[in-house]
Each structure stands twice: as C-alpha cells, then as structure tokens.
Amino acid sequence: MGVSGISDQEQISGEIASIQAEYEAGLEDGAAVNNRTVLDYPPYRSSVLRHPTKDLHHTDPETIELVSPAFGHRDVDGVESDLTIQHSGEPLGERIVVTGRVLDGDDRPVRNQLVEVWQANAAGRYIHKRDQHPAPIDPNFTGTGRTITDDDGNYRFVTIKPGAYPWRNHTNAWRPAHIHFSLFGNAFTQRIITQMYFPGDPLFPLDPIYNSIVDPAARARLVANYDHALTSPEWSLGYRWDIVLTGQQSTWFESEGVDA
C-alpha cells in the first residue's frame, strides 16, 4: 500500500503475477485456454464492484431494431477516417496510419462494418472533461473518427500516436498507449468494443486492464504490428491490426462500462 492507503505498483504487479501464475498452472493441469478477459480481476480496482456477475440478458434483436438508430454508407463521410484534418491546423504528435481487416472466424472479410475509434492526443490527454490530468489539450485534435469496411473487410485511419496517460487505479498507474475501437455488426445490438495497443510498450506488464486478459496469445492479438510497407516517406508511420470477430483467434472485446 502507498502512503495514502491506495495500492502502489508493486502491490498491483504482485497481484497480476499471481493471477497469471495461477492461470498458467491451470493450463499445465489441463484447463482450457481462456481467450476472454477475467471480469472479476482485483488488480483492476474500479471493476471489483461493477463487473458483471450475471449472464447477459438476452433480448430479441428484431424488436430492438424497430426503435434503434440505423446507419448506412451515406451517413459516414470518407474524411471522418482522418483524425488529423478535423480542425484548421494540424495536431501535434507522430502521424500514423492504422489499418487492417475485420474478419470472421473463418477468415472471411466482414464488409460494410461501421468501425469507430476514440483516443487520447499525443500528450495522453482526452478531450473529455472528466480527463483533468495536467497534459495539454490539442486544439487541433478531437480524437474521434469512424469509417466503413470495404469489400475486403479493410478499414483505415489516419491519426496521431496517442500518449500514455495516468489513471487512478493505484499510485503511479499509467495506461499503455491505446486506441479504443467500436464495431457494429449489422445491427446496434451487435456492438463490440476493444482497445488496440502499440508494439513494445514498456507499460504492458504493469497495466491491470491489459493483463486482465490472462492468456498471453489473446493479449498479443490486441497489439498492432509496425509495418514498414505502410509507412510513407517523410509523412507517417504505419501500423497493421486485424480484428477477428469470432473463433479461436478472435480479438478480445470488453464488456460495457470499461472506460479507462
């Protein structure tokens, strides 16, 4: 515990390590691989009292669709996938392209899929007023964008690399740099949300959200690959990240209410 009674990193890291060791010991004893997040994950302190404890409530999707919003190709403008051109000036930071394919469990492209992103600016600050940590707001960066996948399931965003940012899980807690992703299926009842990370981030072993996915291979699927072929000379770095919606290689998606 830190001086204020709030846990410190050493405490959190110890808890992360022991849950991880327990999972790996289970695998050796023949337990199944767990590709999903552990919902009751004490190192992620604010989730302890709010994680789901009951099965999802099933609704009739057709009934919901009668009253829910709808979108089509015409509603999403091509420029909405470029987060660097939403204001009169250019945002500060490292310009990047993030692209990849949305696939189903059989490797088939998921076409015409609404993909939305939101992220902190290069200094690690969200435009959101709940984010009050002392890093500068960038007047030229809002940090939200959206696009529709093409016939091969491709999506593509131009943005700036987000910074790491502090949060109040424990003393000196910092989130690894990440971009939040939301995908809708064909209907609003099929929304899934996840986070994309950047390779080689030194904060990975310290972060309780990242580590609440206990399977190392499932965790690694949240990390984009640096791709030099996507990098444009004198312009931007390129990252590739495929999103697999179902099956053994599926990307992990978080439950509603995770907002860090």
Of the residues 180, 197, 210, 221, only one is catalytic, namely: 180
Q: Is 178 a catalytic residue?
A: yes
Rounded to whole angstroms, how far apart are CA atoms 75 and 29?
Answer: 51
> SS3 helix, strand, coil % of the chain, rounded to 5?
20, 25, 55
Q: Is 51 a catalytic residue?
A: no
Cβ-contact 32, 218 below 8 angstroms: no
Q: Which residue has the tokens 């007023």?
A: 129
- Positions of E strands within 56-168: 95-103, 114-119, 144-148, 154-160, 165-167
Name the amino acid, one letter, at 253. Answer: F
Element (H, E) at 155: strand 154-160
Q: Is 128 a catalytic residue?
A: no
Q: Is 165 a catalytic residue?
A: yes
Name the amino acid, one letter, at 61. Answer: P
Residue whose C-alpha is closest to residue 122's, from 141, 149, 106: 141
Of the residues 101, 170, 178, 221, only one is catalytic, namely: 178
Cβ-contact 100, 155 below 8 angstroms: yes
Name the amino acid, one letter, at 201. Answer: D
Q: Is 239 a catalytic residue?
A: no
Of the residues 41, 44, 126, 197, only one is catalytic, namely: 126
- Helix, strand or coil, per DSSP, at residue 116: strand
| β-strand pairing of 173-175 with 144-148 | unpaired
The pair of three-digit structure tokens given for residue 4, joined into one six-digit string: 């204020």
Q: Tell me how long the chain is.
A: 260
Q: Point out the residues that are catalytic.
A: 126, 165, 175, 178, 180
